[in-house]
A and B are shown apart, each in its own frame.
Chain A
Amino acid sequence: MTSLLELHNLTKAFFGIAAVKDVSLSINAGETLGLIGQNGAGKSTLVNIVGGVVHSDSGHMTLSEQPYTPRIPADAQHAGVAFIHQELNLFTNLTIAENIFISNFPRMGVLRTIDRAKIKALTGELLASVGLDIPSDTYVERISPGERQLVEIAKALYQDASLIIFDEPTTSLTARETERLFAIMGQLRAQGKAIVYISHILGDVQKLSDQIAVMRDGELVACEPASALTIKRMISLMVGRSIEQLYPKRTTSPTTDPLLTAKNISASGIVEDISFTLHKGEVLGLFGLMGSGRTELARMIFGADQFESGEIVVEGELVRKPSPRSSIHNKIAFVTENRREEGLLMSIDIANNISLVSLPEFARSMLQVIDQRQMFDSARETANTLQLKSGDIRQQPVKSLSGGNQQKVVIAKWLLSRPSIFIMDEPTRGIDVGAKYEIYTIIDRLAAEGSGVLIISSELEELIGMCDRILVMSRGEIYGEFTREQFQDERILRAAFREQDLPMMSVHDGQAKRD
């Protein structure tokens, strides 16, 4: 059997941080390769290189023994590489047939008009081959996510793809649609197509794949036959070595005074019956896979989103109608997941970003005139505490800062309002290791000063490195609670994947179990 696609020593770095490090891999025709790894392990970057979306810094690829250097996604398409994304790439306002032929309409006659009859006939055949019984002139907006997935596959078949990459294809599918997808994948494999299957559902990966490649921190740590791997082993390969030195030693221990208590928070389809307590001086981790409801929960607690039932109690007082303003009044800070969209005013200077939350505090008189000197002094002082590296904070726009320094501006903005509760959603996403360490130090100091910190992260190591306690969320519920002595990455991951019997099932009042 000859290999269809070979990757040789591919390396890709973004802003100096390696996303893919020296990866070599091959895949044969008629074979399915499972690709697994934690968020940020480099899976997406790797397949994006294959799909022509990003270009590798070094290394090379061959496809059917020919050099393969896709510069744009269309190159990959022509070479027979199809890419079926997590978020589907169909035009919902066009018909199925138009979507399939969008980049290459069959033409006829001198006028090169679109050959509708031919399109119809061809689409019929293609849809039949993926088992989809819908008229080809149906608008895509009217069909289900599962059916759209099949249309994507039909499109790949039309382009005569020899390699089809599936990136988390089942996230939006029902169980039945998933079954149908797997059946089609089986057929494709029988027809001699090579398939790359990326998924967080390790059971599926094991069932579907011939080979499984495991990535961690941009490196390929294993590529073994599926039959030789257990799910347990896959998880430990994904988690890898211990990384203690990346985190500062915690200086204090949490107290038992409750700061913030969530009681039975529910919002249908998003989170269900969530209860937990954050204590003074505690760093509480909230772990979960993408879509587990962790970010949504954080937003509800802060009041950025609404929930349907449940209560939030801050320092013994019930919060009537949580809103960002009431939360700020209650001394809660919220470092959002995405700095650009919800954290910063990118084109505005650093000082005004830092003072945004506390603006009313600098206001004097009826007219709400800002005491400029005090405002700039406070902003500067806070920036200095965080060792922000920048030019004049009154002039330099935030967008010209590095990711780590931007994150510091977000934290500074909240620090200035002297909060006692910090909710941080992915506080270290997209920043380099050095800046991460500084952020961790800040978190430790906040806890040491008596604040409560709730960290949401999809990087398990960082939670293990920093937290006193970790809650695991899965499908909108809290599915496990781990205290420091129970920290064991495999067990936590298994809880997140719902792969196992838990040390403690559905925790309703975490604080009771702590002591």
Chain B
Amino acid sequence: MSILDDRLSSAHALSQRQATKPRSGSPIRRAIQDFLLSDYFVLYLTLFFFITAAIFFPSLRNPGNIANQLQNMWPLLAVAIGQTFVLILGGIDLSVGATMGITSVVGAIVMAQTLDPSFFDRSPLWGTLMRPEGGVLAGSEWAVPVGVVVMLVTGTLIGFLNGYAITRFNLAPFMVTLVTSTFFAAFALWLTQSRNISGLPEAFLNLGKGDILSIYLGPKLTSDIARRDILSFITYPFVISVGLAFISQFLLSRTVFGRQMFSIGTNRRASEISGVPGKSVITRVYMFSGFCAAVASIMYSGRIGFGQPSLGGGNLLLDVIGAAVIGGTSLFGGKGSVRGTFFGVAFFVLLSNILNAMQLSPFVIDAVKGVIILLAALIDITRTRLINREQRV
């Protein structure tokens, strides 16, 4: 019984216990139940997968690999946090990918140090904002700060557009964000004529990959260490995303805004009758999601080294929504946490890592990934049902 008690020591588990009938069944089943009900379930599952896989694939254990996976998480985490907020509200933001694309382009138009006429002379901005000598603020010391601010403002504005359309015209978030997504994806391609905008300032590239603190494991044999042996640990993306995560968690759990988000996601009618400013909260949440997408866009654009109109396309949306949902955020609103989303992002990133290490045929790898995500979702449903059963009086 004492082991059980330890397991139950988190406040959350305790609450479930207080609200429940006494448990029945064998100790093993109870242990399984407690495992399933834990807040850290997704983390346990992810670590279990990874450790098991690492036994068979030594390359996964490589410190370089682990450092890499950590770096891969940061941009995805930023955009997934925004999505988590929207999902908690009971909405969905399908436009995060397109928001990343357009902000990436807009930022590059501000910062680019040179632009190739043969690529861009058909762009509608050629000769005005885009010139052979570069973008709007080419060469200026203000290019990077202004570019970053412009990117963040653009993302936030797109979020505002989403929120305004959803609240003002009572449209389904699914429709609105799908439309903005299509529009801005096309807009980004039109502005750039499908071209990437390269030649971004070094200071901006650092936001995508710059190290602050690196680690070297191993003996010091020579005076210079090969670049490949230096492991990035604390990087700018690390600081940016972890900072964003803490701020988000604080907003969510400690502020009026956060509580009102949960209440609207749980029951919008009851909330509005209780004086919660529904439209304003909803609009602000979509703005936050746009902001987060812009933060992710900064990191992705800086890392890849150019403004990319197609940034955020492809399967990214699946990863973003998938990470939030696997992390325990409900698609029906009212439930979710930044911590859960962090675990969900870890799950997605490490899953890709494991599947790559397995060197499955590229034809089947995505199918396998799909099956595993489905399995994880099934486990989560089982879990939710179990929690509901426990809470029923």
A and B from one complex: yes
> Given that A346-B267, A395-B14 are contacting pairs, would A325 and B391 also be in contact in the complex, using a CB cutoff of 8 Å?
no
Flag if B275 contacts A357 (CB, 8 Å): yes
Chain B proximity mask over A347-376: 1 for CB below 8 Å, otherwise 0: 111001001110110110001111010000
> In the assembly, what is the distance between CA of A345 and CA of B265, in Å?
9
Hey, which chain A residues are within 8 Å of B276, CB to CB?
356, 359
Chain A proximity mask over B271-289: 1 for CB below 8 Å, otherwise 0: 1111111000000000000
> In the assembly, what is the distance between CA of A397 and CA of B393, in Å?
11
Question: Which residues of A from 260 to 286 have beta carbons under 8 Å from B?
Answer: none
> In the assembly, what is the distance between CA of A118 and CA of B391, in Å?
53
Distance to closest chain B CB from A370 (angstroms): 6
Nearest B-chain residue to A371, judged by Cβ: B254
> In the assembly, what is the distance between CA of A392 and CA of B263, in Å?
19
Q: Does A413 contact B (CB under 8 A)?
A: yes
Q: Does B260 contact A (CB under 8 A)?
A: yes
Complex partner residue of A342 from B262, B263, B273, CB under 8 angstroms: B273
Q: Does A324 contact B (CB under 8 A)?
A: yes
Hey, which chain A residues are within 8 Å of B213, CB to CB?
none
Complex partner residue of B19 from A355, A360, A367, A396, CB under 8 angstroms: A396
Flag if A360 contacts B274 (CB, 8 Å): no
> In the assembly, what is the distance between CA of A303 and CA of B272, in Å?
11
Complex partner residue of B256 from A343, A370, A392, A396, CB under 8 angstroms: A370
Flag if A324 contacts B259 (CB, 8 Å): no
Q: Does B217 contact A (CB under 8 A)?
A: no
Distance to closest chain A CB from B63 (angstroms): 39
> In the assembly, what is the distance between CA of A342 and CA of B275, in Å?
12
Q: Does A180 contact B (CB under 8 A)?
A: no
Flag if A396 contacts B15 (CB, 8 Å): yes
> Given that A363-B256, A369-B255, A397-B391 are contacting pairs, would A356 and B274 also be in contact in the complex, using a CB cutoff of 8 Å?
yes
Q: Does B269 contact A (CB under 8 A)?
A: yes
Question: What are 30 A-to-B residue pairs whose CB atoms are below 8 Å?
Answer: A304-B272, A324-B273, A324-B275, A325-B275, A325-B277, A334-B273, A336-B270, A341-B267, A342-B269, A344-B267, A345-B334, A347-B334, A347-B335, A352-B263, A356-B259, A356-B271, A359-B260, A360-B256, A363-B255, A370-B256, A391-B19, A392-B15, A394-B15, A395-B11, A395-B14, A395-B19, A399-B391, A400-B392, A400-B393, A413-B274
Hey, which chain B residues are within 8 Å of A349, CB to CB?
15
6 interchain residue pairs of minimum CB distance:
A395-B15, A328-B275, A345-B266, A368-B256, A391-B18, A356-B274
> In the assembly, what is the distance between CA of A510 and CA of B262, in Å?
43
Hey, which chain B residues are within 8 Å of A362, CB to CB?
256
Q: Does B190 contact A (CB under 8 A)?
A: no
Distance to closest chain B CB from A6 (angstroms): 37
Q: Does B257 contact A (CB under 8 A)?
A: yes
Flag if A400 contacts B277 (CB, 8 Å): no
Nearest A-chain residue to B264, judged by Cβ: A345
List 7 additional A-B contacts (Cβ < 8 Å) besides A363-B256, A372-B254, A396-B19.
A325-B277, A336-B270, A345-B270, A347-B334, A391-B15, A399-B391, A400-B392
Hey, which chain A residues are within 8 Å of B11, CB to CB?
395
Question: Which residues of B from 366 to 393 have beta carbons under 8 Å from A?
Answer: 391-393
Flag if A345 contacts B267 (CB, 8 Å): yes
Flag if A359 contacts B266 (CB, 8 Å): no
Flag if A344 contacts B260 (CB, 8 Å): no
> Given that A370-B254, A372-B254, A400-B393 are contacting pairs, would A344 and B270 also be in contact in the complex, using a CB cutoff of 8 Å?
yes
Question: Which residues of B from 266 to 318 have beta carbons under 8 Å from A?
Answer: 266-267, 269-277
Task: Describe B's contact surface by its main secondary structure.
Answer: helix
Hey, which chain A residues are within 8 Å of B15, CB to CB?
349, 391-392, 394-396
Nearest B-chain residue to A401, judged by Cβ: B393
> In the assembly, what is the distance between CA of A203 and CA of B193, in Å?
77
Hey, which chain A residues are within 8 Å of B393, CB to CB?
400-402
Distance to closest chain B CB from A221 (angstroms): 34
Hey, which chain A residues are within 8 Å of B14, CB to CB?
395
B-contacting residues of A (Cβ < 8 Å)?
A: 302, 304, 324-325, 328, 334, 336, 341-349, 352, 355-357, 359-360, 362-363, 367-370, 372, 391-392, 394-397, 399-402, 413
Complex partner residue of A348 from B19, B257, B263, B269, CB under 8 angstroms: B263
Size of chain B's interface in residues, with CB distance under 8 A?
30
Distance to closest chain A CB from B392 (angstroms): 7
Hey, which chain A residues are within 8 Å of B391, CB to CB?
397, 399-400
Distance to closest chain B CB from A413 (angstroms): 7
Chain A proximity mask over B319-335: 1 for CB below 8 Å, otherwise 0: 00000000000000011
Nearest A-chain residue to B335, judged by Cβ: A347
Flag if B19 contacts A356 (CB, 8 Å): no
Hey, which chain B residues are within 8 Å of A357, CB to CB?
274-275
> Given that A360-B256, A392-B15 are contacting pairs, would A341 and B269 also be in contact in the complex, using a CB cutoff of 8 Å?
yes
> In the assembly, what is the distance between CA of A328 and CA of B11, in Å?
34
> In the assembly, what is the distance between CA of A401 and CA of B274, in Å?
20
Hey, which chain A residues are within 8 Å of B272, CB to CB?
304, 324
Distance to closest chain A CB from B246 (angstroms): 14
Nearest A-chain residue to B258, judged by Cβ: A370
Hey, which chain B residues are within 8 Å of A397, CB to CB?
19, 391
Hey, which chain B residues are within 8 Å of A401, CB to CB?
393
Distance to closest chain B CB from A411 (angstroms): 13
Flag if A369 contacts B254 (CB, 8 Å): yes
> In the assembly, what is the distance between CA of A369 and CA of B253, in Å?
9
> In the assembly, what is the distance between CA of A362 and CA of B256, in Å?
8
> In the assembly, what is the distance between CA of A334 and CA of B259, in Å?
21
Distance to closest chain A CB from B299 (angstroms): 25
> In the assembly, what is the distance between CA of A363 and CA of B255, in Å?
7
Among A336, A343, A345, A401, chain B packs the most CB atoms within 10 A around the CB of A345
> In the assembly, what is the distance between CA of A372 and CA of B258, in Å?
13
Hey, which chain A residues are within 8 Å of B392, CB to CB?
400
> In the assembly, what is the distance between CA of A471 and CA of B263, in Å?
35
Question: Which residues of B from 233 to 254 have beta carbons under 8 Å from A?
Answer: 254
Flag if A304 contacts B254 (CB, 8 Å): no
Distance to closest chain B CB from A427 (angstroms): 15
Nearest B-chain residue to A413, judged by Cβ: B274
Distance to closest chain B CB from A458 (angstroms): 21
Nearest B-chain residue to A391, judged by Cβ: B18
> In the assembly, what is the distance between CA of A396 and CA of B11, in Å?
11
Question: Which residues of B from 15 to 54 have beta carbons under 8 Å from A?
Answer: 15, 18-19
Hey, which chain A residues are within 8 Å of B255, CB to CB?
363, 367-370
> In the assembly, what is the distance between CA of A357 and CA of B260, in Å?
10
Hey, which chain B residues are within 8 Å of A341, CB to CB?
267, 269-270
Hey, which chain B residues are within 8 Å of A346, CB to CB?
266-267
Distance to closest chain B CB from A338 (angstroms): 9
Hey, which chain A residues are within 8 Å of B263, CB to CB?
345, 348, 352, 356
Distance to closest chain A CB from B263 (angstroms): 5
Hey, which chain B residues are within 8 Å of A369, CB to CB?
254-255
Nearest A-chain residue to B256, judged by Cβ: A368
Flag if B257 contacts A368 (CB, 8 Å): yes
> In the assembly, what is the distance between CA of A372 and CA of B253, in Å?
10
Hey, which chain B residues are within 8 Å of A325, CB to CB?
275, 277
Hey, which chain B residues are within 8 Å of A342, CB to CB?
267, 269-270, 273
Hey, which chain B residues are within 8 Å of A336, CB to CB?
270, 273
Flag if B256 contacts A347 (CB, 8 Å): no
Distance to closest chain A CB from B288 (angstroms): 14
Hey, which chain B residues are within 8 Å of A402, CB to CB?
393
Hey, which chain A residues are within 8 Å of B273, CB to CB?
302, 304, 324, 334, 336, 342-343
Among B260, B270, B392, chain A packs the most CB atoms within 10 A around the CB of B270
Complex partner residue of B266 from A328, A348, A372, CB under 8 angstroms: A348
Nearest A-chain residue to B275, judged by Cβ: A328
Distance to closest chain A CB from B144 (angstroms): 28
Hey, which chain A residues are within 8 Å of B270, CB to CB?
336, 341-345
> In the assembly, what is the distance between CA of A347 and CA of B259, in Å?
13
> In the assembly, what is the distance between CA of A349 and CA of B272, in Å?
18
